[in-house]
Chain A
Amino acid sequence: MGITAWERVKIARWKERPTSLYYINHIFEHFIEFHGDRNFGDDKAIVGGIAYLNGRPVTVIGQQKGRSTKENVERNFGMPCPEGYRKALRMMKQADKFGRPIICFVDTSGAYCGIGAEERGQGEAIARNLMEMAGIGVPILSIIIGEGGSGGALALAVGNEVWMLENSIYSILSPEGFSAILWKDNKRAGEAAKVMKLTAAELKEMGIVDKILREKEKLTEDSGEYVVYKLKMGILRFLKQYELKSREEIIDERYERFRKY
């Protein structure tokens, strides 16, 4: 498409870009949202529950940004706290228990860095997800639909496959942070975006992601039909591929996928 990395960053962060709930509601049927980590609270930056995909039960989880300012505040701008990751893990373990594939929609600028988040063990929550996801015996598919903000995104992205929408980004830190820390200048974010290789195309080439889904111009909820369709077809194909694999195969393949880096 010939657009710069920085332009893709802006598109990935664009407030009209469809969120996890949009895809969940349009791809799956009868989504029932569950809540809570059974320990501390319910983090609205992460949504999750069970749904049907063409009659087949699945677990769906997503990082959810707000679709209005009010909702953004409620959802902490899609920046999860430890209880959000623990909610996600609880749902993944339930999926494992009941043999449901897991589809994760990743869209966050990062794990929330507030005092409470640190007090409740933000690092531990992410680490625990990384470790436990390695042992989940059902197929996991993670799709970066907007921003893949570092460890906060990775905690939902230890998948058998990891896909990205064409204009989404996935990075170890924000280009602003990169520019500020490495070049002592927070105005060179555009340059940083180029150096960091955070676009879908670059990450596919590096083998960090498995598949890119093309977007059409100006992806919004109103123009999202095409992407919804391609995603649904892709997910169905993914599930079919994994249908006959054993738990051990699913776990081993996921291990090898991340072992190669």
Chain B
Amino acid sequence: MPILKGRFKKTTYITLGQETPEDIGRAVAPDEIHPEIPQGLWTKCKKCGSALYTQDLRDNYNVCSKCGYHLRIKANDRIAMVLDEGSFKPWDNDIPASNPLDFPGYEEKLERFKARTGLDEAVLTGTGAIDGQSTVIAVMDASFFMGSMGGVVGEKITRAIERATQLKLPVIIFCCSGGARMQEGMVSLMQMAKTSAALKRHADMNLPYFSVLTDPTTGGVTASFAMLGDVILAEPGALVGFAGPRVIEQTIGQKLPKGFQEAEFLQEHGFVDMIVKREELKDTLSHLIKMHMPWVNLL
């Protein structure tokens, strides 16, 4: 396991951790999110309840050392974990926001998320290298509007895929989302079709696309690019589904089976290729790129 001490900058760190799976499944409204800013030295594991020394937790890829639960991480931290140091070049972080429904308060909410997270939107896209191999990458971030997909998220992802097609690069997308962004109405729905069509063109060039499902991946994201990877990876225990657990329970009037919609459940039912621990993701992705594009020379 590579040494992580000091790898992460000590910036203000917001951890989402206390929502229950049901909240996530039903597309939590933005003001329901209670970001947990680790006040002091301790963070509580949402799964097993253990008190973890925050610095140790960060050194362990934000994975609980007691139960192995993979807490959520920010997009920038993911990029630091997966890409070669200094190789990331961000793209398209200046696409203007829009408010197609003239939804009251939406623009203000966006500004709050921008200020809080330092991100322009719920996804970071760009190019980088994994063990010297160039790739296009997109990483969604649940701390920005629950990772919901609106017009800008869809546009960033689509442009990244299109450039990958043009540059003949693989695409890796880290999926993390409460679903389509309701405040943008049908424009959000259209992003599902738009991103999937871009992936079709990429695939037609015989270029590989690896999707990594992280906790939570739901709704319109699951029903579009998340489930279209040539290889679909998932973090252990990640909640992945189309409909939210609470909606399903209400529909069928029954309690859900244990482990329902977790990554392992999806794998058993045939929808996930590999469940990979966070610390092993970089090596796995590196290997997969090399296997799919053996002719690419290392730098």
Interface residues of A (CB under 8 A from B): 111, 113-115, 117-124, 126-128, 130-132, 134-135, 150-151, 154-155, 158, 170-173, 178, 181-182, 184, 195-198, 203, 206, 208, 254-255, 258-259, 261
Contact = CB atoms under 8 A, between A and B. Distances in A.
A131 B228 contact: yes
B251 interface: yes
Given A131-B200, A181-B182, A197-B186, A151 B251 contact: no
Contacts of B243: 111, 113, 117-118, 122
Contacts, number: 150
Interface string B246-258: 0110011010110
Interface stretch (B4-12, B51-59, B78-86, B190-198): B190-198
B220 interface: yes
Most B CB contacts (10 A, CB to CB) among A171, A173, A197, A261 go to A261
Nearest to A170: B186
Most B CB contacts (10 A, CB to CB) among A155, A173, A184 go to A173
Given A123-B226, A259-B158, A131 B196 contact: yes
B228 A127 contact: yes
Contacts of B199: 131
Contact of B257 (A111, A115, A123, A196): A115
Interface in B253-289: 254, 256-257, 260-261, 269-271
Given A150-B180, A154-B192, A181-B27, 17 more contacts: A113-B248, A115-B254, A115-B256, A122-B243, A124-B271, A127-B226, A130-B196, A130-B197, A131-B200, A151-B224, A151-B242, A155-B223, A158-B197, A172-B185, A172-B220, A197-B101, A197-B186
A114 B248 contact: yes
Looking at chain B's contact residues, the main secondary structure is helix
Contact of B29 (A117, A173, A181): A181
Looking at chain A's contact residues, the main secondary structure is helix
A15 B227 CA distance: 34
B197 A197 contact: no
Given A114-B251, A255-B201, A259-B194, A150 B227 contact: no
B189 A172 contact: yes
B188 interface: yes
Contacts of B192: 126-127, 130, 151, 154
A228 to B, nearest CB: 27
24 contacts: A114-B248, A114-B251, A115-B257, A117-B242, A118-B241, A123-B223, A124-B227, A126-B224, A127-B196, A127-B222, A131-B197, A132-B200, A150-B189, A151-B219, A154-B189, A172-B220, A173-B27, A181-B28, A182-B29, A198-B185, A198-B186, A255-B197, A258-B194, A259-B197
A151 B252 contact: no
Q: Which 7 A-B pairs have the closest CB atoms?
A: A113-B243, A123-B222, A134-B197, A261-B190, A130-B196, A123-B242, A126-B223
B265 to A, nearest CB: 8
A128 B242 CA distance: 13
Interface of B: 26-29, 100-101, 103, 151, 154, 158, 180, 182-183, 185-194, 196-197, 199-201, 203-204, 219-220, 222-228, 240-243, 247-248, 251-252, 254, 256-257, 260-261, 269-271
Contacts of B269: 119-121
B154 A261 contact: yes
Contacts of B183: 182
A197 B228 contact: no
A193 B247 CA distance: 20
Given A127-B228, A197-B186, A206-B186, A113 B251 contact: yes
B230 to A, nearest CB: 12
Contacts of B222: 123, 127
Contacts of B270: 121
A154 B260 CA distance: 26
Contacts of A259: 158, 194, 197
Contacts of A254: 197
Given A111-B242, A118-B242, A261-B151, A127 B101 contact: no
